[in-house]
Structure 1
Amino acid sequence: MERIPEAEWQVMEILWAESPMGAQDVAERLAPATGWSLATVKTLLGRLLAKGALAHDEEGRRYLYRPAVAREACVAGESRRLVDRLFGGRATPLVAHLADTGQLSDADIAELAKLVKELGK
């Protein structure tokens, strides 16, 4: 799957939470946080359709959009790209970076320890 930029990701989040939905409905949900016009949202929907991230059904004269890919699949792809690009494909330097910069809470560390223990089994 192609990379989904931040603006398109915001549209996908709306549709992963609730779908199918028309362009006007998506625009109304995004407007308070983004200020985007209906035209902008329609452009983003068109890009996502072209990438295969969305599918649509016709209801009269309007399209109802729905995700064609699971959120988990997109998260996996984005995570892989991040680790590949910034950490040479290795997760350990990512975790070390988060620890070094104080971005891991005690709860995060406990979860990581539990995960490592489970992976070792």
Structure 2
Amino acid sequence: MADKIPSISESEWEVMTVLWQEAPKTANEVILSLQECTDWKPKTIRTLLDRLVQKNAVGVNKNQRIYTFFPLFSQDECQRAEAQSFIKRIYGGTMKSMLVQFIQEDSLSDEEINELRRILEKKQKKDE
């Protein structure tokens, strides 16, 4: 499934976030949402929407007088694909080397360590 999910730029991710929160939305609704948190011009936002449609990340409902846009992939699917792409590019595809680096370089609280331990134990039991 991950290979079907298109690569999404940081700016496009902002547009997707608006659509994941509530869809379908008209271009004007997307513009209004994004102008609350960015200084992007309406033309920029329309260009990003068009790019996402061309990449098949966003669909368009043309059955109405005003077109509405909706995501073709869930946020979870896109996050998973983005994480896999990152691990592949930066860590040669191995999750272990990434986790080791983060754990060694980041100071984790006892609570965070215990939570990681619980997650790993749950994963281990699931895989058995």
TM-score by length of 1: 0.90
Q: CA RMSD in A?
A: 1.4
Aligned residues: 120
Displacement of 1:104 in angstroms is: 4.0
Matching of residue 39 in structure 1 with residue 43 in structure 2: yes
TM-score by length of 2: 0.86
Deviations 1:34-85 (A, max 9, x none): 111111111000000011111111321x211001111111111101011111
Displacement of 1:103 in angstroms is: 5.6
Please list every run of 5 or more consecutive structure 1 residues that lacks an aligned counterpart in the other structure: none
Please list every run of 5 or more consecutive structure 2 residues that lacks an aligned counterpart in the other structure: none
Q: In the aligned structure 1, how far is the partner of 2:60 from the partner of 2:109?
A: 41
Deviations 1:12-34 (A, max 9, x none): 00000101101111111111321
Displacement of 1:102 in angstroms is: 1.6
Aligned counterpart for 1:67 among listed residues 61, 64, 71? 71
Q: In the aligned structure 2, how far is the partner of 1:88 from the partner of 1:37?
A: 38
After TM superposition, what 4+ stretches of structure 1 lie above 4 angstroms from structure 2?
none
Aligned counterpart for 1:110 among listed residues 105, 111, 114? 114
Deviations 1:80-101 (A, max 9, x none): 0111111111111211221222
Q: In the aligned structure 1, how far is the partner of 2:121 from the partner of 2:87?
A: 22
